[in-house]
Amino acid sequence: MKFSLSWLKQYLDTDAGIEEIAATLNAIGLEVEGIEDPAEKLQGFRVARVLTAARHPDADKLQVLTVDTGDGDPLQVVCGAPNARAGLVGVLGLPGATVPANGLVLRKSAIRGVESNGMMCSTRELELGEDHDGIIELPEDAPVGTAFAQYHGADPVIDVAITPNRPDCMGVYGIARDLAAAGLGTLRPIEALEIDGSYPCPVEIRIEDAQGCPAFYGRVIRGVKNRPSPQWLQDRLKSAGQRPISALVDATNYVMLAYGRPAHAYDLAKLNGAVVARRAVEGESVEALNEKTYTLDAEMTVIADESGVHDIAGIMGGAHSGCGDETTDVLLEIAYFDPERIARTGRKLNLTSDARGRFERGIDPNFLDTGLAQLTGLIQTLCGGEASEVVRQGAAPATPKIVHFQPALVERLGGVIVSPAEQQRILGSLGFSVVATEENGVQDWAITVPGWRPDIDGAPDIVEEVVRIHGLDNVKSVPLPRADGVARATATPAQALERRTRRAAAARGLQEAVTWSFLPEAAALVFAEGPLWILANPISEDMKAMRPSLLPGLLMAARRNLDRGASSLRLFELGRRYLRGQGGASDERLALGLVLAGEKTPRGWKSGKAVPFDAYDAKAEVLALLAEAGAPVDKLQVMGEAGPQFHPGQSATLRLGPKNVLARFGMLHPSLARQFDVDGPVAMAEIFLDAIPGRKGAASFARTSYAPPALQAVTRDFAFLVPAALPSGDLVRVVQGADKANIVATRLFDDFRGQGVPEGQKSLALEVTLQPLEKSYKDEEIKAISDKVTAAAAKLGAVLRG
């Protein structure tokens, strides 16, 4: 929220400067995001008087001015403004000054052969208005030679980040209240206005949706004259980022920004019959002030008359009943709307506004009469007019909330000692009322929460208020107690698995990507295993589906990098995919996605053409990462196709048993490559870390000392004829398990098909490593092991080659 320093000081009696105010705001939990000081932008601009004005010798539309800057020696300036003339007092930009509107640095220069020592400026060039038809004309008595920033009264603007739990600070008055509580001045009370109407309100006001609109107050002001707002009001609205429109509209915006109280003014001539707060009719539509048409449903509250909807209640008014230059009679509306209804309506319509931001956070239900009086008084001051009596329909939920509190909680929960008397002062200055009692030496307070603090729910919230006003900087940093010795591990097994796998992937040269958990619906559907989770309130239409797989996000990341000239990509991401469980419950599963795209090996004089990645590269990465994750890779089976997202015949799954799929890998299907706009072959894989079985024992991943075997290992080669369709991994796994006590490793080193191998068969050669434990093998022991290997292979139809 933005506001000017002078606006703040209208409510806060203080001599503090802008820097002290900003420091105090930060200290009490209202973060200052920035300070804009117009005086800095206006440095180098000075009040100056035009002494003479003569036609430029070489340009009909230019004049050569002699300008008095107050330094004694007049300056020559070339100017093209039609209103430039002798005697005019304006604003001169001297050489070295920067024009705020376009960043132009002024220099002494020659224009059509005539020297010019600066520029006479318009209001648009100094960002003081939209007028660009001529240069600024100041009063004749304006002090020549004075810095224009000093003459104009440049007013610093403070930008404060308001958290959602502080609706009271969505108005300048609420921020002034906090600063006064922190001791930075005195809060000025809101001027009490009692404007009695001189005639009955001519408009019937009704409530037909008491749940969505519990209270609706209104009155008519007739005989107003709408005109541009005075400069002071325009300046304050501009400081808050609002565009001045007209006095009637600006008055409602001013009350909202000053007190956090949205209101609305209708042109009475554009209304037809009674004005009613009701539910919208299903399919009813309204054109809002932003010139967009919205289709409503029966769960939305609207303000309507007999002709139709005029206002999306609490969010935005309608275009056809707004106030214009011809407006003479207005109906003022100040109402209380249900915050949850406002929030749901805004999300459904994807419509945000300043009013919605305040209503859905919670406004003061006790400020209806005061707010209507302030708005009435301001409109009458700006536009004149005669006010009617006030119509009050319904009542806001104004039952005060009482919190029971013990002052000792401040030290126990907040870690700072604040005396009970100081606590009462702080709470009183924030608008809380305290009734203190004491029994057996223990103080017990009954604290009544003001209506503008709907965020206060219990005693811890009271502690927060006391501590932040006392000063968050006064809370000392105290280290937590730590037991002697080595601290125990705090990471859960799942967290340890994530860290270990992530580090292993990075160590293998893979680059980590962090993509959104949301996807375009079309991209998510391609990898969906069932119904998707679709967000009701997505951050954008292209990010509405929760990802069922990590691969779509990685493919889109790969495309972006390839489009920007990357020649080789090895991307991985470790995160969660989101599935629908039984009964529609959320099912989040940990996975690692992997995409290999571009060149595996670049072209060279020795290697020739560049070599792309293939499915075996993805498989190698998967097996290595599964081993690091603790999966029993020696027991894994390569089975079947990985899914329709992969190239037929170029993919597979790694399973522990027929049903437990630990990973899938392969080449991207060509049709999906076109859909994701990725050129060239792409290898990808997905590891389902949640499917890896846990190890037995609490210290499953504890570090242990390594003792190498005392005896040297022995290797033996075996060549088998097997059916051509038999996966080599099946043979490796069977041989590995033929003698678990002696066989420690089995590796395929040859796959031959050709001369000497019967049709329909292939020759697979395995290297089997034997590890003696207590003594070296004898020939008969090695033969016994070889017989076990041959017998195990025979179960798969393998025959030892002669």
134 vs 82: CA distance, rounded Å: 6
88 vs 68: CA distance, rounded Å: 11
691 vs 662: CA distance, rounded Å: 6
Pair 217, 100 in one domain: no
* Nearby residues of 98 by Cβ (< 8 Å), 6 or more positions away: 41, 44, 104, 105, 106
Pair 328, 283 in one domain: yes
Count of domains forming the chain: 6
Q: Specify the pairing of strand 442-449 against strand 285-287.
A: unpaired
pTM (whole model) above 0.75: no
Sort 330 into a burial class: Cβ within 10 Å, 0-12 / 13-18 / 19+.
buried
> What DSSP assignment string belongs to 114-165?
EEE-SEE--TTTTTS-S--SS---B-TTS-TTSBHHHHHT---EEEEE--TT
Pair 541, 640 in one domain: yes
Q: Which residues are annotated as a binding site?
A: 455, 461, 464-465
Residue 482 lies in a domain: no
Please name the amino acid found at residue 109. Answer: S
715 vs 338: CA distance, rounded Å: 80
* Nearby residues of 240 by Cβ (< 8 Å), 6 or more positions away: 1, 2, 3, 257
Cβ of 449: how many Cβ atoms within 10 Å?
Answer: 21
Pair 543, 434 in one domain: no
> What DSSP assignment string belongs to 339-378?
HHHHHHHHHHHT---HHHHHHTT---GGGHHHHHHHHHHH
731 vs 423: CA distance, rounded Å: 79
Torsion of CA 358, 362, 366, 372, to 10 degrees: 20
Residue 194 lies in a domain: no
Q: Maximum Cα–Cα distance for the chain, whole Å?
A: 122
Q: Which residue is associated with the tokens 């290797």?
A: 715
Give the model's pLDDT for residue 703.
53
Pair 682, 543 in one domain: yes
* Sheet of 89-93, strands arranged across: 75-79, 59-68, 45-56, 89-93, 119-120
Q: Which residues of the chain have pLDDT under 70?
A: 695-705
Pair 165, 139 in one domain: no
Domain boundary among 336, 359, 394: 394
Domain boundary among 394, 416, 443: 394
Residue 487 lies in a domain: no
**What's the CATH code of the domain at 309?**
3.50.40.10
Contact of 555 with 668, CB cutoff 8 Å: yes
Sort 531 into a burial class: Cβ within 10 Å, 0-12 / 13-18 / 19+.
exposed
Contact of 42 with 154, CB cutoff 8 Å: yes
Domain that residue 621 falls in: 493-691
How do the residues of the chain divide into helix, strand and coil, expressed in percent and rounded to 5? 30, 30, 40
622 vs 653: CA distance, rounded Å: 10
> What DSSP assignment string belongs to 43-79?
TTEEEEEEEEEEEETTEEEEEEEEEE-SSSS-EEEEE
Handedness of CA 165, 167, 172, 174 (dihedral sign): negative
3-state secondary structure at position 172: helix
**What's the CATH code of the domain at 22?**
3.30.56.10
Pair 83, 117 in one domain: yes
Look at the chain and count its residues: 802
Q: Which residues pair with 394 in a beta bridge?
A: 215
3-state secondary structure at position 89: strand
**What's the CATH code of the domain at 755?**
3.30.70.380
In eight-state DSSP terms, residue 700 is T
Pair 769, 738 in one domain: yes
Q: How far is CA 636 from the centre of its chain?
A: 43
Residue 644 lies in a domain: yes
Residue 486 lies in a domain: no
Residue 698 lies in a domain: no
Contact of 14 with 453, CB cutoff 8 Å: no
Torsion of CA 482, 484, 486, 489, to 10 degrees: -40
Q: How far is CA 780 from the centre of its chain?
A: 73
Pair 523, 411 in one domain: no
Give the model's pLDDT for residue 698.
44
Residue 356 lies in a domain: yes
Pair 163, 99 in one domain: no
Pair 682, 765 in one domain: no
741 vs 565: CA distance, rounded Å: 53
Pair 671, 574 in one domain: yes
Cβ of 426: how many Cβ atoms within 10 Å?
Answer: 22
733 vs 241: CA distance, rounded Å: 71
* Radius of gyration, alpha carbons of the chain: 39
Q: Which residues are annotated as a binding site for Mg(2+)?
A: 455, 461, 464-465
Residue 554 lies in a domain: yes
Domain boundary among 377, 394, 411: 394
Q: Which residue is associated with the tokens 């591990």?
A: 489
